[in-house]
Structure 1
Amino acid sequence: MFDRFWFCLCFWRLVGVFGEMKYVKIGHSVTLNSGLSEMMDEDLIQWRSENRLIAEINVTAGRFSVYEDVHKGIFRDRLKLDDKTGSLTITNITTEHAGVYRLYTVETNTVIESFLLRVYDEISVKEGDSVTLNSDLTEIDYDRIQWEFENSLIAEINVTAGRFSVNDDALDGRFRDRLKLDDQTGSLIITNITTEHAGRYELVIDRMRKSFFLNAVNEEISVKKGDSVTLNSDRIEIMNGVLIEWRFGAELTLLAEISKRGDGFSVYKDVLDERFRDRLKLDNQTGSLTITNITTEHAGRYLHIRPKHLNLNQSLKAFRVSVYARLPVPVISSNSSQCSSSSSSSSEQNCSLVCSVVNVGHVTLSWYKGNSLLSSISVSDLSISLSLPLEVEYQDKNSYSCVLNNPISNQTQHLDITQLCHTSADSVHCCGSTEAVIRLVLSALVGVATVIFLVYDIRSRRAEQDQT
């Protein structure tokens, strides 16, 4: 499978003979647009992958066909045709689907649209952490295995010579004391990751290659919905001749571009259904990117990269942005329908309360007694409502509070027992009245039973006398 695995994020602007380039992450879907708003009655078009027919539309015959058994069945249950425009969607992408796709008109055998599909996977690691690049081998059954970083040899296994070596001096020694080889599988372990280690790694076995793109996440940023966030480039000034890009999400969508060669600063507001329209600002000195009025649609991964020689991409900095809704204030209320007592003593009567909040998102709702956590409940649904019960004694003098929090903020509501719970006298009245009614009913029942018994006894005695 190695020779089919292509992962290097290369030739960002290669359009030429291959048409539009699309980047798709493994497991995601991609739609190859036909460029047609609507097909005509006489249209007969075909989609081909590496010159093999994978889909055909015959409008006259009303036939929409997909051919899933080509390429050893790699497209099985993955192809969908738009019956209006003829666009082709490929779902659950794997590395086997990388390559050139073309849309032809059958009558003239003319290319209407052409795409170069690049399938990639990535590994995101925080600075200071370690990562293992798996060879997918259960044992080393090849004579030579090599690991490269951006075309420089950094580790090698030579089975014949019995040599497992790492090149600590490669690339100005940036990998010194950081590389380890698994002597059973040949996998490569990189420790204490920094941004210098982000980039393209290749496992070379004979003529087969497996590629990885390591992304060192520098910052994880949490921001409130509606606020602004600035992704700092950590540069004082952009040097002349330097090209820098900001990209977003799994599809690595280009958001902004900086070129000091032409003194150009561009932001692309119309991408991704215009979710970034009027929200992007570039610092023309440092290249930092600011996103204003942020929403949950803007949550995700942002890459600050510098394309190098148009075939390698050096990741300068990576961010993961999480967006949280502003927290509502939790509401504490009493359950007035309950009036319970654990004994006949009114001082031991309890007050039932509930703390609730609606439309909360990713939060935790908790009850505290002073600084001590009593109970909590968490949820990760933006539309769900939360409720957390609590039972306290009427005479309890402790301080209680209900706290709603997420990773960036919290809302606290303090409990006033005197307002929400009945006083002891009220409790006695409430529960005492109930008890009095119960006793009265029981007494009445006993009285009625006694009368019935006496009447029955008198009648029985008179019947016996009459018989005598």
Structure 2
Amino acid sequence: MTTLQYLGISVIFIIDLLGDVNAEVNILTQREGQSVTLHTGLTGLHVDTIFWVFGPVIPNTSIVESQVIRGENITEFKGRFSDRLQLDRETGSLTIRNLTLNNSGVYQLDIFNTHKTSQRFNLTVYAPVPLPQVQKISEGDVLDSSSEKGSCSVVCSVENQIDRTLSWYRGEKRLNQTSSPDLSTNLSLSLEIKLKDKDIYSCVAANPVSNQTTKLNIETLCLQFVESGPNLTTIIVIVLTLFIGICCIWKKKDIKGCCVSTSGSPEEEDSVVQLRQTLSAAIPLDQTEYRPDLLGDVNAEVNILTQREGQSVTLHTGLTGLHVDKIFWFFGPVIPNTSIVMSQVIRGENITEFKGRFSDRLQLDRETGSLTIRNLTLNNSGVYQLNIFNTHKTSQRFNLTVYAPVPLPQVRKIPQGDFLDSSSEKGSCSVVCSVENQIYRTLSWYRGEKRLNQTSSPDLSTNLSLSLEIKLQDNDIYSCVAANPVSNQTTKLNIEMLCLQFVESGPNLTTIIVIVLVIVLTLFIGICCIWKKKDIKGCCVSTSGSPEEENCGVAYSVRPCISPSSPVKNENSLDCIPATVKTGCTF
């Protein structure tokens, strides 16, 4: 079933929680008792479902339901003015006959096939404007006695109604105008005129569909206040009245047209002077009838929900024990204009149909109207609209955001940050933490439980990254945390692994010993190779100059042993060089 679908809380950045409020609204006015047609501008409609919904402020009452059910066109008119409605199924247009003031309000058309098409009309019905009344203001008699002939003040009044105005005109020029939102009092507007003014004055009461005009008769209202000598007509009337009075007394009979008091002072029926009349109080109107709020269901509460991708969520209505004819769910990323669930009781049979690309993951609880969505994906984020129909419409809206699970953030060293603080005792090291960016994802550095900094970005095309500079001798625990509203991941910083190679300390003792031994051994082997021209395992020379014995016991690493009596050979001789020291050899 279709109804106003509005979006836009909210937003979260975003999301236009106003929904169909942004669509064009057709403003219509008409006079009470007339007919009006809400024209859709469509032709040749071949759709399954046409609904009209009405309300003085929020269109929540179904008045027309036209559906094609199993090949049969079933149209039902509802509500207190159903007998005055007529639907054109080829265009979807609705005609309302014999309008009353109660027909003012918001009308919503919803046409369903695969998607929903909506139109809205704001109709205001006005009562015909009555004729305004013009009277003299008694207190204004001869207001300007210093002028040549004086002046006169009059007041024009009319019963007040919505959008009704009251104006004074001199010829075609409007002199002043008034209106009032307080419908409990009449509209009134005063005017002061010169008694010798020859212009034509008129008082006009109007609303958007009708108007009424009363012309001012200066002579009738103000003639007696002209400051002039006795009028001849007045003298004749007085003489005739006296004469008739005397006749009535003397003849003691009733003369037609003669009404005389016992004192002889006559009273004329048609006096030129009109008595001042008090302004009648207007009948108070229903103060609840004000201009419809075109925002409709936008003023209703929006339920904000979040859930993790792959999980399930239930859009709880908070209702129980529902026994209604129709339950409809609509969905859209911004405007919920796509039907996803249609559940109706048709001729005693409950028919529920799931629609759309994720229809196989939907489940409806008809006792509560709640909707469950299983195995959520990111594409399930959006606005969901529930419409429950019986006699009136009940609506609820849900704004669901589905988030992907947060991946583990990666921490690495910044190469340019080596020895960033070479002047410090042990230097410093800079690291950077990064994670793939997604909507509402944040990245933060913590020292223990204290957050040091945080970043986020609406640009989802680039990763989030956040750097941190630390002292190499810092013993605190640092961690990088990536989070969204439904999950988070933490990576702890390993200072030794990332920054130990940059510690500014003296050479290691073990390293020094190894390097010295390698250098000494290399030099010794080199000298032996040059002097002996062959690879000898130890050198030991006898006193007779014979080559060293195999089991001498002296290694190259000590020294060759030489007999003191052996002559010195030349460089190329294989005999040992004479020496005065003999160590560890037996000759």
Structure richer in strand, relative to its length = 1
- Which protein, 1 or 2, shows the higher relative CO under an 8 Å CA cutoff with sep ≥ 6? 1
Relative to the length of structure 1, the TM-score reads 0.47
Relative to the length of structure 2, the TM-score reads 0.38
For the pair shown, which has the larger CA radius of gyration, 1 or 2?
A: 2
